[in-house]
A and B are shown apart, each in its own frame.
Chain A
Amino acid sequence: MDQDIIKHKDEIPQPTKEDFVSDQMVKWCPGCGDHAILSSVEKVFPKLGVRKEDFVVVSGIGCSSRFPYYMNTYGIHGIHGRAAAIATGVKLANPKLSVWMITGDGDCMAIGGNHFIHAVRRNIDINILLFNNKIYGLTKGQFSPTTPKGFKTKSSPQGTFEQPFNAGELVIGAQGNFFARAIDNNPKMMVEVLFEAARHTGTTVVEILQNCVIFNNNIHELISSRDTRDDNQIFLKHGEPMLFGKGKKKGILLRGTQLEVVELGKNGITEKDILVHNIYNPDPGVHIMLSRMTPPAFPAALGVIRSVTESSFDQNMEEVIEQSKRDSKIKNVDDLLRSGNTWKI
């Protein structure tokens, strides 16, 4: 995608945020986290140097999946769980397009789990925005694959008795090269993260912690609220020590094979002991541990957690096609029909 950004930059007039706002009424509940995400995406798209005709927004089913109708781009609102497969087809058919997939925790990791992990594994160059509200909104409040164990919902009146997925762990375990996390009430951070995702070649997954005011209000409160967030979130930046908390007095340290929260100045800990974030590390070990950090024991990791560069599936496919065109004697269908064993009568 980087190349496309550069290629188009000088040729085309810069679109504006308004270019991407659709004329359709946005029908999410007032106060839903989705509104903030929409606004961030509308801010990011004009700045990517991509022609407005070259964006395609693809989604599955769920509250978040109405997204394409609210963006003035090309878009497909698909069927439940299949957005990754549809997006794959779009990208392979025309690798020049900038393909964005919008999905939720149920759409992506329950019914669409298979397509999701395989898109990630193939490293197809699409950007996946995973809105995680840890609940089924559109079907009115059943638990999802990310709902915390023991949580009471309409379909788990006694509390769930199953382990939830951690999106980052799943993505990285599925050979994912790019994983980032943002939260709906910090648009500045979200915009920054979305830029990073857009710049990356290959599948990117941005998990956005999104609040469902109706069915799961305040599920991310520890991480998001003004009072608690300093101790419960850490905005990771490549090359910087992992510090957080009021006045950046706390940090993350790697002791043995495990992460640990420490306080600067206590037990002789100085900034030098603190783990420095390396998004490019191909070894997924630390990235998985960072993804798994959960409040209150750990701060939730936000920002880009992993960004490893490898050629994408679509690039590889294009290369093989070009190579075959050069090498093959078959130049058209008439050649094909006459190849191999034939005889005249």
Chain B
Amino acid sequence: MGTKRNKPVQEKDDVVIRFAGDSGDGMQLTGSLFSDSTAFAGNDFATFPDYPAEIRAPQGTIAGVSGFQVHFGHTNIHTSGDLADVLVAMNPASLKANLKWLKDNATVIVDTDAFVEKAFDKAGYDGNPLEDETLEGYRVIHAPISEMTRDAVHDLGLENKVALKSKNMFALGIVLYLFNRKLDKIYKAFEEKFKSNPLVVEANKRVLRSGYNFADTVEAISPTFNVEPAELKKGLYRNITGNTATAWGFIAASERSGRELFLGSYPITPASEILQELTKHKELTVKAFQAEDEIAGICSAIGASYTGSLAITTTSGPGLSLKSEAIGLAVMTELPIVIVDVQRGGPSTGLPTKSEQSDLMQALFGRNGECPTIVMAASSPTDCFYSAYHAAKISMEHMTPVILLTDGSLANGSEIFRIPRVADLMEINPPLVPPNDEDYKPYKRDEKKLNRRWAVPGTEGLRHRIGGLEKENIEGNVSHDPENHQLMTQLREEKVNRVADFIPEQELIGDSKGDLLIVSWGGTKGVMLTAVEEMHKENQNVSLAHFNHINPLPKNTEEIFSKFKKIVVCELNNGQFVNYLKMKFPEFTYQQYNKIQGLPFMVSELKREFYALLSK
């Protein structure tokens, strides 16, 4: 593809670009095509979609704005980025909704054809923002996208409406030019995506090309940018969202453990994609059961667990509330099950499409009785794969429920994933009981882990009953004996505590002692890491302990904490992990930094906080 280019090129380390338009403008597709092209350019990248809670919010309004952000670079990319270098705004509402997320000097590409009187009103602008001081300081590229899209396809005989459907590709063409990308990979994607409709393929190609050529003629588009390929470990890569990674992690654990995978689940935002993904993979004997409600989701999983499956249930905060009693049953029956909570803003229905870390206390304590479970948290979209795998392993090997916390940002966000070989993943050895094992007693425990063993229905010589009533130690008969209850309570607790002997030590980024220890957990890892790395470059002595294991905590936690003058715990809630730490290690003083807006942390706000703490 010969493309004449006559603009100077500026090198960039990393770039954040945000595509924004009306729900119907195809911004998700535009963003994901740009991601594909980024992959081929050899950059590291992460993405995040931002769509309205309503399925079809009124056209042209702020509520109806749909966005897709891509952060790419030749350095390691840990997050989908906070402020954008480039914004594509397909209408006034998307400009208005996104202006606050722009860096100074950002490039703004607008469809001037959409900036008409009617649209200003809907977006809440008094006049044309392209003509007043709204965009002062930005490099604005005025593109009559709608008109030029129509021109590009006028001889294909498409209806106006159909023709305009590809206007997002005009915008993509401009952006590809801006970043010195090739068009042929996108052409290929069109050919695949619209296989059954050659006319649509042709229209999209023409419009894309037309956008690209337009950019070449526009003087404002200078300089263009280049981002060199990242130095990534050799291997095979793919782009993956947190929810898909979660689903696949469980399938991998199922294969590696030889236990069929059973999912009992009820659709809920933002967890539904895990159910949808798993239900696709019947070829790998995944049994995904869409239950009548959240409770049936987990209860069917408990039934499947008793029957020898790797059993999981997936949900979000409100669903976790509904599952509480059944989690207690799994704790009491000491059956393996993984409960995935893709956290969203709460309480109640809260902010369904926004992300938060406010289910931690519920995961730790939200049940009747003394009811300990293992609690883990995934820290990035790709880590969802490994966390799901690990949660399944621990749950089965220790015969106890695991609550795995992810969140809306991880779930829908994507990053590049270096594809592992299943044979290279850790072994999983569920404590299954062989037929006619004379030694089998339902509540006889492994000496080291304290787990009971897994006797699966259908196996000869192991018939037994379990249930929610307290059971007699070893024999497993119903028991109301006071001493026995105390003993069993302690055993269940100790079993969970001993998991600490089987998980990795807490990792520390930075020096092992110093002035400030930054503590965080779960889905915020990318932004925490970025902030800390930047501060290291600025020669600041700060260290980061980012937690994946919450209960039990890694054994060296206390040791790490003891080496720092100040500890600040950062989380997207009102202070739940910090309170948990206060309970566990009351000897330390904790500062806390909390944000509870349904939005991720920004690197800049974190650094501001850390600098302030250092200077205090």
Contact of A88 among B289, B326, B329 (CB under 8 A): B289
Residues of A within 8 A of B419 (CB): 337-338, 342
Which chain A residue has the least Cβ–Cβ distance from B455? A74
Cβ contacts under 8 Å, A75 to chain B: 464-467
Complex Cα distance A327/B326, Å?
37
- Across the interface, do B464 and A74 meet the contact criterion of CB distance under 8 Å? yes
For B248, what are the chain A residues with a Cβ–Cβ distance below 8 Å? 333, 336-337
A312 interfacial contact with B, CB 8 Å = no
Q: Does A79 contact B (CB under 8 A)?
A: yes
Is residue B321 contacting chain A, with contact meaning CB distance below 8 A? no
Known: A88-B300, A92-B300. A68 touches B457 (CB 8 A): no
| Cα-based distance from A89 to B310 in the complex (angstroms) | 12
Q: Are B459 and A53 in contact (CB under 8 A)?
A: yes
What B residues does A71 contact at CB under 8 A? 465
Residues in B whose Cβ lies below 8 Å from that of A69: 465, 467, 477-478
Within 8 Å by CB of A343, from B40, B326, B420, lies B40
**Nearest residue, chain A, Cβ from B233:** A345
A58 at the interface (CB under 8 A from B): yes
Query: How would you classify the secondary structure of chain B's contact residues: helix, strand, loop or mixed?
Result: mixed
The CA-CA distance from A338 to B419 in the complex, in Å, is 7
Which of A85, A327, A333 is in CB contact (< 8 Å) with B299?
Answer: A85
B302-359: which have CB < 8 Å to A? Answer: 302-309, 311, 325-326, 328-329, 333
B422 to chain A, nearest CB (A): 5
Query: Given the complex, which residues of B lie within 8 Å of A86, measured CB to CB?
Result: 299-300, 302-303, 306
8 A Cβ contacts from B390-437 to A = 419-422
Interface centre among A71, A78, A86 (most CB of B within 10 A): A86
Q: Enumerate chain A residues within 8 angstroms of B283, measured Cβ to Cβ.
A: 321, 324-325, 327-328, 330-331
B303 contacts A93, CB within 8 Å?
yes
Residue A37 at the B interface, CB < 8 A? no
- Rounded to whole Å, the gap between the CB of A146 and the closest CB of chain B is 21
> Which residues of B lie under 8 Å from residue A337 when comparing CB positions?
238, 248, 252, 419-420, 422
Inside 8 A of B39's CB, which chain A residues have their CB? 341, 343
A85 close to B300 (CB less than 8 A): yes
A-facing mask of B537-568, CB < 8 A → 1, else 0? 00000000000000000000000000000000
Total contacting residues, chain A, CB less than 8 A: 60
Q: Which residue of B lies closest to A73 (CB)?
A: B463
Residues from chain B with Cβ under 8 Å of A85 in the complex = 264, 291-292, 295-296, 299-300, 303
What's the least CB distance linking B319 to chain A, in Å?
A: 14
Q: Which residues of A contact B195 (CB under 8 A)?
A: none
A92 touches B468 (CB 8 A): no
- Whether, in the assembled complex, A253 has its beta carbon less than 8 Å from a beta carbon of chain B, the answer is no
| B226-270 interface code vs A (CB 8 A; 1 in, 0 out) | 000000111111110000000010011001000010101000000
A283 at the interface (CB under 8 A from B): no
Known contacts A88-B303, A94-B457, A325-B283; is-contact A78 B468 (Cβ 8 Å): yes
In the complex, which residues 288-345 of chain A have their Cβ closer than 8 Å to any Cβ of chain B? 317, 320-321, 324-325, 327-328, 330-334, 336-338, 340-345
Instruction: Indicate whether A89 sits within 8 Å of B40 (C-beta atoms), given known contacts A77-B468, A82-B296, A114-B296.
Output: no
Which residues of B have CB within 8 Å of A51?
Answer: 458, 460
A93 to B295, CA, bound (A): 18
Contact A58 B422 (CB under 8 A): no
Given A82-B326, A85-B295, A327-B283, A332 contacting B465 (CB threshold 8 A)? no
For the complex formed, measure the closest distance between the CB of A222 and the CB atoms of chain B, giving whole angstroms. Answer: 36
B308 and A79 form a contact (CB under 8 A): no
Cα A315 to Cα B233 in complex, Å, equals 46
- Whether B252 contacts A333 by the Cβ 8 Å rule is yes
Q: Are A333 and B467 in contact (CB under 8 A)?
A: no
* Contact code string B439-482 (vs A, CB < 8 Å = 1, else 0): 00000000000000000011111111111110000000110000
Q: What would be 5 A-B contacts, judged by CB atoms less than 8 Å apart?
A: A53-B458, A115-B292, A330-B284, A344-B236, A345-B235
Ranked nearest first, the 10 interchain pairs of A and B with the lowest CB-CB distance are A89-B303, A77-B467, A328-B283, A89-B300, A85-B299, A93-B307, A93-B304, A85-B296, A324-B282, A118-B292
Residues on A facing B (Cβ under 8 Å): 22, 24, 51-54, 56-59, 61, 68-69, 71-79, 82, 84-94, 96-97, 114-115, 118, 317, 320-321, 324-325, 327-328, 330-334, 336-338, 340-345
- New A-B pairs, 7, CB < 8 Å, besides A82-B326, A89-B303, A93-B260: A51-B458, A78-B468, A79-B299, A332-B255, A337-B248, A338-B419, A344-B236
